[in-house]
Amino acid sequence: MAMSSRVVCMCRLTGRSLGTVLSHSRAKDLTARRWYITASAGNELQFKLDERTAHSSLDLFKKDTGVIYRMLGLDPSLVQDTPLRFRDWAVVLADTQIDSGRHYWEVTVEKSHEFRVGVAEVSTSRDECVGTNSTSWVFAFVQRKWFAMTTGKQVPVPLVGKPDRVGLLLDYEAGRLSLVDTQKAEVVHTIKTQFRSPISPAFALWDGELLTHSGLEIPTGLQ
């Protein structure tokens, strides 16, 4: 199913809207080796955002647990160009590699009308936006509506409005990523897949700011 115009509007180059979604059939190999904090098999996943992956329009703050979108951003020529960094899309990954276990984290979003939260393979293409390929799985908020996205397909999520804080529950072995209503401690929607390689929490932001909350236990109602 083709992406709706609402989702297409969100998936855009920083600072400029795209009339159509850019397609990149050629994924570039990551030639530089990256060191991660390895996730334990326990539930209390702890991570920060990895500045080396952040697009030049994104500034990290609060000891690299939060990210702010800058309209002008940094001069790309002043940002170290490595295979780890997203070049065209306002995306940043966490510094954690996950290859097993059940994990839970939350995200607070302020003054933002367009963002995505989810996971992506560690080696996902830096030339594509998370949610548009087969190596990323996200929940997108755009035009006051939620969607589950992967491989460019979108499914409406029945969550009314934009809560300030949402949770994400990951079960690696079961291939499940769930969006959680933190006030009710209930799963709103689940993306089902099969993870074939290590993944990392992933975030995209086109305005406002986003703050991550990791090191959390899985809520009792979700155990």
Q: What is the pLDDT of residue 167?
A: 95
Q: What is the pLDDT of residue 2?
A: 41
What CATH number is attached to the domain comprising 211?
A: 2.60.120.920
Task: Evaluate whether residue 86 is within a structural domain.
Answer: no
Strands 136-142 vs 186-192: parallel, antiparallel or unpaired: unpaired
Task: Evaluate whether residue 153 is within a structural domain.
Answer: yes
Q: Which of 30-34, 97-101, 204-208 has the lowest mean pLDDT?
A: 30-34
Q: For residue 115, what are the CA distances in angstroms to 41, 109, 120, 194, 221?
A: 29, 9, 15, 24, 27
pLDDT surpassing 60 at residue 195: yes
Q: What is the pLDDT of residue 221?
A: 86
Q: What is the pLDDT of residue 103?
A: 97
Q: Which of 6-10, 141-145, 158-162 has the lowest mean pLDDT?
A: 6-10
Q: What is the pLDDT of residue 25?
A: 34
Task: Evaluate whether residue 125 is within a structural domain.
Answer: yes
pLDDT in tens, 97-146: 999 999 999 999 999 999 999 999 999 999 999 999 999 999 999 988 99
pLDDT surpassing 70 at residue 165: yes
Nearest CA-CA partner of 18 in 79, 72, 126, 90: 90
Task: Evaluate whether residue 214 is within a structural domain.
Answer: yes
pLDDT in tens, 170-180: 999 999 999 99
What average pLDDT is seen over the chain? 82
Residue 74: pLDDT band (50, 70, 90) is low
pLDDT surpassing 50 at residue 64: yes
Task: Evaluate whether residue 77 is within a structural domain.
Answer: no
Task: Evaluate whether residue 173 is within a structural domain.
Answer: yes
More confident residue, 69 or 18: 69
Residue 29: pLDDT band (50, 70, 90) is very low
Counting the structural domains of the chain, the total is 1
Q: What is the pLDDT of residue 1?
A: 41
**Residue 157 structural domain:** 1-12+98-223
d(CA 135, CA 149): 11
pLDDT surpassing 50 at residue 24: no
pTM listed for this prediction: 0.81
Task: Evaluate whether residue 65 is within a structural domain.
Answer: no
Q: Are 70 and 58 in contact (CB under 8 A)?
A: yes
Q: Which of 20-24, 70-74, 137-141 has the lowest mean pLDDT?
A: 20-24
